[in-house]
Structure 1
Amino acid sequence: MADISWTEGASNETVGDARSELEAGFQYCLFTVIYSIVFVLGLTENVLALYLLSCRAKDASPSSVYLINLALVDTLFVCMLPFKIHYHLNWNDWIFGDVACRVTGTLYYINIYLSIAFFTCICLDRYVAALHPFAYLRLRATHHLLVATALWVLALGVTLPLILGGPLHNGGVRNTTACFENFPLSSWTRRMAPYNVLALVFGFVIPFSIILVSYPLVAKRISQTKHSVRRRKALRTICIILVICTLCFLPYHLTHLLHFLMRVQLIQNKSFTDLIYKMRRVTLALVSFNCCLNPLLYYLTSSSKQWLLKFRLRFRSKTVYTICDQKLGESFGVYQLQQRQGNKHRGGTN
């Protein structure tokens, strides 16, 4: 996550002694359309999620700290998408300078690996709550906050060499300026190799394995409980996380592994390398959809009716309440007056 190993690949790179033309003409339209959709939906959903989570922060569970941080990292990611949209819309020509290239590049991969990290924390939280309830009761919000802070510090610390390193934008094809692309073969075989292996193992394989293991254990334990609401909510949480990882992160990391093997020349078949390059284009675009799917965790695993009620009450006009109160008061007064007159009339006839 912290090195130029997480580049999007080059359109025209040196592979071995021969010059291999790796081209995917559909990528410019694909990235522009996908990133535009993710920007609109992701920004709307995550800003709304942050608002709703902040409204119920006092009454929320301590584990909601992870949800807030997940929404925050998604919001930061979608805010940098306009730069990526402009870049791909102009045939991968970067015009915003080296600093902007570093920031957008690091945010892209911080989003991927911090999202997976927070997913793992949420699954572990559900695991402890289901299998060790008494130990879970001793956990406080500060414990979850410390874990979330440690993950942010680790992510920023790992990306620091990338931010402070050498230039990351360079010459591309058709006299364009590439960002996070066109790196030589020597970089892939030397400096990038350890980073790629560590990213695949500790950034995805281990966290995804934890999620896969925790889901059946939690499902088995929760199925024995009598609290149907809590059971559905916990099962729904891990199920959504599992779906997002399978749809967004798993295809990306599988193609990333093949892409890395291609760059270090362990895969040299021309037709296969072309296929890998095109598959990587698609998975790089689709992995950003996690920002649109993550809000499902906030809405489906919490009391959506309470959130909807709070949202309506906050934005409903106060004038409407005043008018209604006055009318209700007047109606109630007339009703009381009629009752008294009726009682008096009955008393006189008796």
Structure 2
Amino acid sequence: MADPSWTEGVPNETAAWGSLEADFQYSLFTVIYSVVFMLGLIENALALYLLSCRVKHTSHSYVFMINLALVDTLFVCVLPFKIHYHLKQNNWIFGDVACRVTGTLYYINIYLSIAFFTCICVDRYIAVLHPFRYIRIRAFHYVLVVAVLWAVALSVTVPLILGGPLHNSGARNTTACFENFATSSWTYRMAPYNILALVFGFVIPFSIILISYPLIAKRISQIKRSIRKRKALSTICIILVICTLCFLPYHLTHLLHFLMRIQVIQNEALTSLIYKMRRVTLALVSLNCCLNPLLYYFTSSSKRCYLNCKLRFRSKRVYTICDQKFEECSYVYKLQQRHGNKKQRGGINGSA
């Protein structure tokens, strides 16, 4: 899911590649990460609260959504370190441990997000096309899948944690974090990581999404109830938009970047363009933390969750429909009820 080769760059990555400059990256990363930090922290913290306080969940897929919000929250919490890093023109001053943790969470966020998207896709596919099989699935199965995904993500990031991500840039006397790997590392040590991460971390999951959702949309279009139809189709559109906007450009440019680093692409103008495109896509991929809460809203009935949580803080006075909309109706009803009780008592006394 994550690998030590998927790294950000600096104005001069290595001497072998000459001068690969992208001075705009400092302001780009600073602005994008600042927006993602402010919006993502608020949105995902609120999503965690709403998803956790629900009394009754309509689907077991909320387990995936809670973990998706959790991994987004962990990522945005370390963004202030990256903002400072880019403000200082890619100079890391927070030490080796902080560098490893920040870089690890960066890649965990990317690949666990894609994995949870795929799980939500499979969940919707089974629910819509195989409903009888879906009702036999229990929440325990979802928890087990989530535990396996977290275990795989953490085990794959062991090379990131135990390796040596810090690298001195040399000429500028700055300390880079998770960048400036030598060409020999890309060719031998990092090549298997890149291939496996590209295939199993994105190509296969994204293919499942592209194949499953048209089938789901076709089945949903046959449902007469318009409310459920719009809600399900909105869920499909949101996931496709997030994957297309954030993850697809990132992995396409990384593929080109990988080919450039193993010297398959050697054209100087093309390598410079690829380098600059990579800076942009590295910033765009972090926007998924701000877009994912839209998915929680459409798929987990956040309105109902909001009302359930809000009612907990209201008074215990009970209102009927008449009390809320027709106060006089409630008052007249109570008078009639009292009058009827008096007549009933009078009848009983008279017969006695």
TM-score band, normalised by shorter chain: 0.7 to 0.9
Superposed CA offset, 1:265-291 (max 9, x none): 111111111111111001100110000
In 2, Cα distance between the equivalents of 1:243 and 1:177? Answer: 36
Summarize the alignment of residues 126-205 of structure 1 with structure 2, pairs less than 5 Å apart: 126-165=124-163, 167-172=164-169, 173-205=171-203
Task: Describe the superposition over 1:48-89 as per-residue Cα deviations: whole angstroms up to 9, x where unpaired.
Answer: 000000111543421111111100110011001011001001
Matching residue of 2:350: none
C-alpha separation in 2, matches of 1:292 and 1:187: 34
Q: State the distance in 2 between where 1:174 and 1:57 align.
A: 56
**Residue in 2 that maps onto 1:8:** 8
TM-score (norm 2): 0.87
Counterpart of 1:257, as a letter, is L
Distance in 2 of aligned mates of 1:81 and 1:47: 15
Matches of 2:93 and 2:275 in 1, distance apart? 24
- Label 1:129 to 1:40 Cα distance change in 2 as closer, same or farther (>3 A): same
Identity across aligned pairs (percent)? 73
Which amino acid is 2:167 matched to? N
> Which of 45, 56, 59 is 2:43 aligned to?
45
Aligned ranges for residues 201-240 of structure 1 at < 5 Å? 201-240=199-238
Q: Which residue pairs with 1:308 in the alignment? A: 306
Give the Cα–Cα distance (whole angstroms) in 2 for the partners of residues 308 and 121 of structure 1.
25
CA contact (8 A) 2:62 2:300 kept: no
Structure 1 match to 2:274: 276
How far residue 161 of structure 1 moved from its aligned partner, in angstroms, is 2.3
Cα distance in 1, alignment partners of residues 2 and 120 from structure 2: 24
> Which residue of the partner structure matches residue 98 of structure 2?
100
1:120 maps to what in 2? 118
Match of 1:81?
79
Contact 2:10 2:90 in 1 (8 A): no
Does the 8 Å contact 1:28/1:89 carry over to 2? yes
The AA in structure 2 aligned to 1:309 is L
Distance 2:313 2:19 in 1: 56
Could you report, residue by residue, the CA deviation over 1:80-135 in whole angstroms, capped at 9, with x for unpaired residues?
Answer: 10110010011111011111111100100110000000000101111111111100
Mapped to 2, the partners of 1:30 and 1:46 lie a distance apart of: 23
Listed as ranges, the gaps of 5+ residues in structure 2 are: 343-352
Q: CA RMSD in A?
A: 2.6
2:63 to 52, 57, 65: 65
Runs of 4+ residues deviating >6 angstroms: none
Cα contact 1:237–1:297 (8 A) shared by 2? yes
TM-score of the aligned structures, taking structure 1 as reference length: 0.88
CA offset at residue 215 of structure 1?
0.9
Aligned length: 331
Write the distance in 1 (CA, Å) between the matches of 2:310 and 2:211: 40
1:177 alignment partner AA: T
- The unaligned stretches of length 5 or more in structure 1 are 344-350
State the AA in 1 paired with 2:196: L
- Could you tell me how far apart the structure 2 residues matched to 1:99 and 1:178 are? 13
1:257 is displaced (CA, Å) by 0.5
1:57 to 1:242, Cα distance in 2 relative to 1, 3 A: farther
Q: How does 1:16-27 map to 2 (within 5 A)?
A: 16=16, 19-27=17-25
Match of 1:111 in 2: 109
